[in-house]
Amino acid sequence: MKYQPMLCKIGTKDDLKNKKYFFEIKFDGTRAICYFKNNKINLINRRNNNITHRFPEFKQFVNLIKTECVLDGEIIVYNKRGLHDFNLLQSRDQLDKTFLIEIRSKELPATYIVFDILERNSKSLINLPLTERKQILKKTIKNNSTLEECVHTERGQQLWKYVVKKHLEGVIAKEKNSYYEPGKRSNQWLKIKFLKTVDAVIVGYTHEKRVISALCLAVYKDKNLFFIGKVGTGFTLPFLEDLKKKFTNISKAPIINPPKTNDITWVKPKFIAEIEYLEFTKKQHLRVPAFKRLRYDKPLQECDIGQFETIR
């Protein structure tokens, strides 16, 4: 069976006090489901692409995983300070030439952080509570530099202090008795963010003196793209010039609520931008957005309005 990753809704710092959760660091990497069968591994990202060939160092998993299984986790690259670094990962995540892949795998070795197990010996585990799945996971894998079981704690506030000190993205809170809900953004798993970020689809751009002055952003709302504002900071001119070459211009706005202006060039939705922002307003627009990076590791449809929903 093929699985789509279970997703989180937004939590608050009050959730860090709740005893019903396990707490984990929110890793800044590429989410991937690992299928281990017939002594072979296959890593499938959120776009349903097989990315196994990009990480030859993971071949040693055959000596670290004790039996056939399906795992859920995050591929990361550690920097010299021992912190996960998405920019280092991106320098590997788009490679397809074998000789470059081999070189980077030695220069910037990746680690697969495993936080869940969905199957073991062809038996589905998704209807077991998380506490039991964690116990089974511990018996299934051996830790080393390429494969790590994700550490979890019941001390959410203490973990939060560490996240703030290290300037990491945030904390994931998972109900101890939660089942695994493939492909669903569930309120049983929450992400409590130190930095507010959203993944949005690029649907157009405006231009003045520069090639591009701002990118137009949208998220999915009831299966339609919904405009949430523009971002005009956080990128360089060479980056914008290169990005414009990759756009496919279209005549009609691909969103259900186009702003009343004639200065937007609409593009075919195919790129995802991660955006930092101060606030998502009542009018459903981003306040003080800044471009952080492009993302290639998830499907457009996961860029939905649910990213802003807070569980109370």
Q: What is the pLDDT of residues 30-47, one digit of tens each?
A: 999 999 999 999 999 999
Asked whether the whole model's pTM tops 0.95, one would answer: no
Strands 147-149 and 110-120 turn out to be parallel
Asked if the structure places residue 2 within a domain, the reply is: no
Asked if the structure places residue 1 within a domain, the reply is: no
Which helix H or strand E contains 239, and what residues bound it?
Answer: helix 237-246
For residues 134 and 265, membership in a common domain is answered with no
Q: Over range 131-148, report the average pLDDT.
A: 97
Q: Looking at residue 240, which CATH number applies to its domain?
A: 2.40.50.140
The gap from C-alpha 133 to its chain's centroid, in whole angstroms, comes to 22
How many angstroms separate the CA atoms of 88 and 81, rounded? 13
From 176, 193, 210, the end of a domain falls on: 193
Show Cβ contacts of residue 204 under 8 Å, excluding neighbours closer than 6 positions.
215, 216, 253, 264, 265, 266, 267
Structural domain span for residue 297? 197-308
How many domains in the chain? 2
For residues 143 and 208, membership in a common domain is answered with no
How many angstroms separate the CA atoms of 62 and 112, rounded? 13
The residue among 179, 133, 180 whose CA lies nearest residue 152 is: 133
pLDDT surpassing 60 at residue 312: no
Phi then psi dihedrals of residue 47, to 5 deg: -90, 10
Asked if the structure places residue 225 within a domain, the reply is: yes
pLDDT surpassing 70 at residue 310: no
For residues 282 and 203, membership in a common domain is answered with yes
For residues 138 and 67, membership in a common domain is answered with yes
Query: In whole angstroms, how large is the CA radius of gyration of the chain?
Result: 20
pLDDT above 70 covers what percent of the chain?
98
Contact by Cβ (8 Å): 182, 126:
yes
**210 band by pLDDT with thresholds 50, 70 and 90:** low
The DSSP result for 63-79, as a single string, is GTB-SSEEEEEEEEEB-
Asked if the structure places residue 224 within a domain, the reply is: yes
For residues 47 and 164, membership in a common domain is answered with yes
Which helix H or strand E contains 92, and what residues bound it?
Answer: helix 86-93
- Dump pLDDT digits (tens) for 77-106: 999 988 888 888 988 888 888 999 999 999
